[in-house]
Amino acid sequence: MSVSERVPSPADVALPTAAELLAEIRAREGRIFRMREHHVFVITNNPDTAQWLLGMGGLPYRPVGQNPSWDYPLGAYRRSREGPPEWDIYVHIVPVSGPQTIWEAAGEQAPTVDPLDFA
């Protein structure tokens, strides 16, 4: 019997490709948007999806003027006082495997939006 001197690393986990990540986001009720400035974000009302995306390395964004919702995962806000919680999470920075970026993959399956579309 031999003893391995190798210590397991979080890097040992295989990363999804950009297309696989986007497919999983859609399966988890995320709405994907691609910005022309090489950003990709997801809007979701599902707290489990939000927590998963944040754990994958996504960054939350709370639109100016939106009320924070402190009883849910980081970045939650409500469009109205009684409305459901919502998350807006940048995902173009989540690590993926393969040659295709998340922004490139999103161009094949999500609308490209202008920031003024949400003003």
pLDDT reading at 16 higher than 90: yes
117 DSSP assignment: G
Please report, in angstroms and rounded to a whole number, the separation of the first and last CA atoms in the chain.
Answer: 65
pTM of the model: 0.82
Q: What is the pLDDT of residue 100?
A: 96
Distance CA 24, CA 2 (A): 39
pLDDT reading at 5 higher than 70: yes
Hey, where are the domains in the chain?
15-118
Q: What is the pLDDT of residue 1?
A: 53
How far is Cα of residue 98 from the mean position of the Cα atoms in its chain?
Answer: 18
